[in-house]
Amino acid sequence: MKLAADVETILTHLGTQISGDMASYSPVDGSNIGSVPTASASDIDAACANATAAFHSWRAVPAPRRGELVRLFGNALREDKEKLARLVTIECGKPLSEGMGEVQEMIDICDFAVGLSRQLHGLTIASERPGHRMMEQWHPLGPVLVISAFNFPVAVWAWNAALALVCGNSVIWKPSEKTPLTAVAVQAIFERAVTAFGDAPAHVSQVVHGGRDVGAALVADPRIALISATGSTQMGRKVGQVAAARFAKTILELGGNNAAIISDKADLALALRGVLFSAFGTSGQRCTSLRRVFVHDAIYDNFVEALKAASTSMAVGDPLDGGNLAGPLIDEAAYDGMRIALDEARALGANITGGARMDMKGAYVRPALVEMPTHNGPALRETFAPILYIFRYHDLAHAITLQNSVGAGLSSSIFSTDVRECERFLSAEGSDCGIANVNIGTSGAEIGGAFGGEKETGGGRESGSDAWKAYMRRVTNTINYSNELPLAQGVTFDL
């Protein structure tokens, strides 16, 4: 009751009220905190038609002016940062400091996108023909569908939406059915920016609620030009196939099975904090969470002892209480996944520290350290829970081979003070992931870099660097300003 009232106060403050057939439950105590309506087939059709109409006028607005809308949105987020962060914590269960961090990540990408709105530049290219000039232009692409996951219920949408909007596209957001109310709140904040902007087209960014069927209908709709989907590899495989069949573009950000290597030359105090935050922060529910750690033989006993001491005393509990470093798992199904993985590891002879269910309302668990006899079983897949599989290594090349031997390729790191080891890890023969770090953990990336991974992680890149190019279409222009018509490659065609 208390959390529902809290949520109602936040949404009322943001000037929005909503209810429907799809309930949202807080993982904090399992209570119902509100509801939203599932989109019908005609709602989906209308959203796609509206997104197309919005795109047709938005693409003609100069990009720096489009940046102004995103600037206003960033300001509106600054004003309501605490309220939105609290709602993120209530609806997805991450600690308040991480809820604040998530909204900060939205603000950061808005700032990035505002600058980008004056830098959507192509190349000029030397033509092989006299009196000719070549250049590239980047044009808006079309309506962009963003499918987001519960664990970053607002930031990942913002990475996509901020870029898509400055690039001249309209946006449709299908949030996770586990975290619909944060999307409702963000939409209300966005609408405030639209009002302040003045003449943005209606429906330039819309939210469509629903489960898998709603997502599937949107993915199949020929009016959607780009699908940016975050979630499981299983989901991404389906999205990718449907999109490929109609030649739509995709940005897929799917599962990870991230690893860190702790060298005998590591700064161990730093490595300890890095490993603990990445493995057990957000209760292991980031796509970048650390799942496997390879520890050098010479420091194995000391380091694993320190990990055990720190993880056993780590404060887990109500995420609204600032003293706790981790909150609950999202739901009972997530707990079942954790229990099954630990049972499998135990059957393989693993030595497990922690992992017990806590006696609280909600799926609260102690973090689990799992010393594995061999690199197999549940360690080869992603389980969205605070489980860290530990392996001993002697030879760096072998550790890198094992690190790379899983399906996913999102994030990785090495802890070492030896420049040769670090550079080898970052080289072409090193980590095969989209993210490779030195002396920091696998999670907690900044927005300035391109974010995403290889292999079963899907290959998409979002957020910083030149990820914006995926939201635009490239046009190559060859311009002849001479009086002749020379053909390329010396071809003759004399009439």
Stretch that binds ligand UN1, among 76-84, 184-192, 234-242, 281-289 (CB under 6 A): 281-289
Residue number with the smallest Cβ distance to ligand UN1? 445
| Residue count, binding to ligand UN1 (CB under 6 A) | 11
Shortest distance, position 443 Cβ to ligand UN1, whole Å: 4
Q: Quick check: 375 binds ligand UN1 (CB under 6 A)?
A: no
Angle between helices 96-116 and 81-92 (to 10 degrees): 120
Report the C-alpha gap between 368 and 173 in whole angstroms: 35
Stretch that binds ligand UN1, among 49-57, 150-158, 242-250, 478-486 (CB under 6 A): 150-158
Contact 81, 100 (CB under 8 A): yes
Of 397, 434, 388, 427, nearest to 412 by C-alpha is 434
Q: Quick check: 257 binds ligand UN1 (CB under 6 A)?
A: no
Q: Quick check: 230 binds ligand UN1 (CB under 6 A)?
A: yes
Q: Quick check: 146 binds ligand UN1 (CB under 6 A)?
A: no
Shortest distance, position 326 Cβ to ligand UN1, whole Å: 14
Show the tokens assigned to 204. 């330039």
Shortest distance, position 321 Cβ to ligand UN1, whole Å: 22
Residue placing its CB nearer to ligand UN1 in the complex, 80 or 98 = 98
3-state secondary structure 203-222: CCEEECCCCHHHHHHHHHCC
Residue placing its CB nearer to ligand UN1 in the complex, 170 or 278 = 278
Report the C-alpha gap between 25 and 49 in whole angstroms: 32
Given candidates 151, 176, 383, 416, which one binds ligand UN1 under the rule CB under 6 A? 151
Residue placing its CB nearer to ligand UN1 in the complex, 29 or 111 = 111
Contact 24, 179 (CB under 8 A): yes
Question: Which one of the listed residues 98, 177, 253, 382 is annotated catalytic?
Answer: 253
Three-class secondary structure of residue 55 per DSSP: helix
Q: Quick check: 156 binds ligand UN1 (CB under 6 A)?
A: yes
Q: Quick check: 233 binds ligand UN1 (CB under 6 A)?
A: no
Q: CA torsion sign, 103 to 108 to 109 to 115?
A: positive
Shortest distance, position 230 Cβ to ligand UN1, whole Å: 5
Show the tokens assigned to 183. 């999307």
Contact 135, 162 (CB under 8 A): no
Stretch that binds ligand UN1, among 10-18, 280-288, 389-397, 475-483 (CB under 6 A): 280-288
Contact 70, 165 (CB under 8 A): yes
Given candidates 114, 259, 287, 399, which one binds ligand UN1 under the rule CB under 6 A? 287
One character per residue 392-421, x = contact with ligand UN1 (rule: CB under 6 A): ------------------------------
Contact 460, 251 (CB under 8 A): yes
Stretch that binds ligand UN1, among 52-60, 151-159, 364-372, 424-432 (CB under 6 A): 151-159
One character per residue 90-109, x = contact with ligand UN1 (rule: CB under 6 A): ---------------x----
- Rule CB under 6 A: which of 432-461 touch ligand UN1? 443-445
Of 148, 22, 172, 159, nearest to 92 by C-alpha is 148
Given candidates 71, 192, 249, 286, which one binds ligand UN1 under the rule CB under 6 A? 286
Report the C-alpha gap between 280 and 164 in whole angstroms: 32
Counting other chains too, the contacts that 8-13 makes at CB distance below 8 Å and 24 or more residues apart are 8/34, 10/83, 10/84, 10/86, 10/87, 10/185, 11/87, 11/181, 11/184, 11/185, 11/188, 13/80, 13/83
Shortest distance, position 495 Cβ to ligand UN1, whole Å: 60
Residue reference for tokens 């209760």: 283
Shortest distance, position 152 Cβ to ligand UN1, whole Å: 5
Shortest distance, position 444 Cβ to ligand UN1, whole Å: 5
Say whether 253 is catalytic.
yes
Angle between helices 63-79 and 180-197 (to 10 degrees): 120
Residue placing its CB nearer to ligand UN1 in the complex, 101 or 486 = 101
Shortest distance, position 441 Cβ to ligand UN1, whole Å: 9
Stretch that binds ligand UN1, among 51-59, 61-69, 283-291, 476-484 (CB under 6 A): 283-291
Q: Quick check: 152 binds ligand UN1 (CB under 6 A)?
A: yes
Shortest distance, position 325 Cβ to ligand UN1, whole Å: 15
Of 460, 462, 412, 414, nearest to 432 by C-alpha is 412
Q: CA torsion sign, 95 to 99 to 100 to 101?
A: positive
- Rule CB under 6 A: which residues touch ligand UN1? 105, 151-152, 156, 230, 286-288, 443-445
Catalytic residue numbers, as ranges: 253
